[in-house]
Amino acid sequence: MPVTISLQLSPKQAADPKTYIPIAARLARVSDTQVALARVVKRSVDARKTPKVNLTVELYIDNEPQPAPLHFDYPDVGAKTPVVIVGSGPAGLFAALRLIELGYKPIVLERGKEVAKRGKDIARINRNQGVDPDSNYAFGEGGAGTFSDGKLFTRSKKRGDYNRALQTLVWHGASPEILYEAHPHIGTDRLPRIMTAIRETILRSGGSVVFGARVTDIELRDGHAVGVRCGDELVEGAAVVLAAGHSARDIYEMLHRRGVELEAKPFAVGVRIEHPQALIDSIQYHTPEGRGEYLPAASYQLVSQEGGRGVYSFCMCPGGFIVPAMTSGDESVVNGMSPSLRNSPYANSGIVTEVRLADFDHLRADHGPLAGLEFQRRLEYLAHEQARLLRSARNDDGSSASLRGENRRSNPENTYGVQAPAQRVADFVSARPSHALPRSSYVPGLTPSRLNEWLPEFISRALRAGISTFGRRMRGFVTNEAVVVGVESRTSTPVRIPRDPDTLTHPAVANLYPAGEGAGYAGGIISAALDGERIANAIAATHP
Query: What is the pTM assigned to this prediction?
Result: 0.92
Stated as kind and residue range, the H or E segment containing 168 is: helix 162-171
What backbone torsions phi and psi does residue 217 show, to the nearest 5 degrees? -160, 160
**CB–CB of 326/380 below 8 Å?**
yes
* pLDDT score for 418: 87
Domains annotated on the chain, with CATH: 3-61 (3.30.1660), 82-262+497-542 (3.50.50.60), 267-488 (no CATH)
Q: Which of 38-47, 68-77, 413-422, 510-519 is predicted least confidently?
A: 413-422
Q: Is 289 helix (H, G, I), strand (E, B) or coil?
A: coil
Beta-ladder partners of 42: 56
Query: pLDDT of 459-488, one tens digit each?
Result: 999 999 999 999 999 999 999 999 999 999
Cβ atoms of 89 and 243 closer than 8 Å: yes
DSSP 135: B
Contact 206, 360 (CB under 8 A): no
Question: What is the torsion angle, in degrees rounded to the nearest 10, for the CA atoms of residue 522, residue 526, residue 528 and residue 534?
Answer: -110
Q: Which amino acid is at 413?
A: E
Nearest to 82 by CA among 59, 109, 64: 109
Q: Is the pLDDT of residue 77 over 70?
A: yes
| H or E element, residue 122 | helix 115-126
Residue 423 contacts residue 450 (beta carbons within 8 Å) = yes
**Distance, CA of 67 to CA of 71 (rounded, Å):** 12
pLDDT over 70 at 87, yes or no? yes
pLDDT of residue 263: 97
DSSP β-bridge partners for residue 116:
none
Question: At residue 150, what is the residue type?
Answer: G
pLDDT tier at 111, thresholds 50, 70, 90 = very high
Alpha-carbon span 166 to 176, nearest angstrom: 9
pLDDT tens-digit map of 259-307: 999 999 999 999 999 999 999 999 999 987 778 889 999 999 999 999 9
Q: Let me know: does 71 contact 497? Beta carbons within 8 Å.
A: no
What is the reported pLDDT for 145? 82
Question: CA 48: distance to chain centroid?
Answer: 28
Amino acid at 348: N
Number of H helices, E strands in the chain: 15, 22
The answer to whether 113 and 211 have CB atoms below 8 angstroms apart is yes
In tens, the pLDDT along 373-385 reads 999 999 999 999 9
Phi, psi of 396 (to 5 degrees): -125, 70
Tens of pLDDT, residues 170-205? 999 999 999 999 888 898 889 999 999 999 999 999
Which residues does 269 contact at the CB level (< 8 Å), separation at least 6? 352, 353, 355, 376, 379, 459, 487, 488, 489, 491
Give me the phi and psi of 303, to 5 degrees please: -155, 145
